[in-house]
Amino acid sequence: MRIDLSWSDFKTKVANKGLSMQYRVKDSDYEIWANENGDDYVCYIAIVDPASTDQTDFENNYKNSINKSSFRYRPMFWKSNTEVDISQSNDTTIADIDVDGKLSAISAVFSKDDIDFVLVIDGTETLRINLDELGDDYELNDIDFPIKTNSNRKQIMIKFQQPVDVTSNITIKAKKTVSRTCEFLAGMIVYDKKVV
């Protein structure tokens, strides 16, 4: 049976019964629902500009944390052994892949260690580090994660202890810091793609 509720009543019902919320955008509304033994509790919030109090509450406090059970992840990877000349004047894009999911690990091999390695997640530069000056650990948004290199610092390997959320794309870039020839030789990105 379908039971329509206001946003306030819906939140109370879901909290009191410990139900899982789901939502979708339908026409110009958020359709939000929860199921209990065949009963569907349903709430609609209009998507308007400026946002209503209910819309703001939903978008700020619920939208990003619900729909957890409506998708799964598929392990994926990108790999390349195509040599790419690295520029000294601009960042050279090595990989640019569309991802809605979680980033787990990255590995890249270069012909020299005079490289700034750049990781861009969802259009934001997240990491820029020089391979020649690389230490053993690095901190990203208050999360420590190990970065390993081989003995001559020509390969970088990053394994995130907790996968990093990605909503649109992962880009790997590099820029050489000296004038001598430097190339990207091979690399891999390991990620989990969200599957609806």
| Contact in structure between 177 and 84 (CB atoms under 8 Å) | no
Q: Are residues 186 and 115 both part of a single domain?
A: yes
The per-residue pLDDT for range 75-124, each reduced to its tens digit, is 898 999 899 999 999 999 999 999 988 898 899 999 988 899 999 999 99
Q: ω into residue 50 within 30 of 0, thus cis? A: yes
pLDDT computed for residue 147 by the predictor: 65
- Nearest Cα neighbor of 21 from 9, 11, 6, 45 is 11
Q: Strand 101-110 vs strand 183-195: parallel, antiparallel, or unpaired?
A: antiparallel
Q: Are residues 97 and 180 both part of a single domain?
A: yes
The per-residue pLDDT for range 148-195, each reduced to its tens digit, is 666 566 888 888 777 888 989 999 999 999 998 999 999 999 998 876
Q: Taking CA 13 as the corner, what is the angle to CA 9 and CA 16, rounded to the nearest 5 degrees?
A: 135
CA gap 81, 94 in Å, rounded: 11
Look at the block and give the residue holding tokens 């409506």.
70
Task: Report which secondary-structure segment, H or E, holds 58.
Answer: helix 53-61
Q: Are residues 55 and 82 both part of a single domain?
A: no
End-to-end CA distance of the chain: 25
CATH number, domain containing residue 123? 2.60.120.1390
Q: Are residues 116 and 160 both part of a single domain?
A: yes
Mean confidence (pLDDT) of the chain: 85
The per-residue pLDDT for range 10-27, each reduced to its tens digit, is 999 988 888 888 888 888
Is the predicted pLDDT of residue 66 greater than 90, yes or no? no
This prediction has a pTM of: 0.61
More confident residue, 36 or 144: 36
Instruction: Tally the domains of the chain.
Output: 2
- Nearest Cα neighbor of 119 from 137, 101, 93 is 93
More confident residue, 135 or 43: 43
Residue type, 109: V
Q: Domain residues for 45?
A: 2-65
pLDDT computed for residue 142 by the predictor: 47
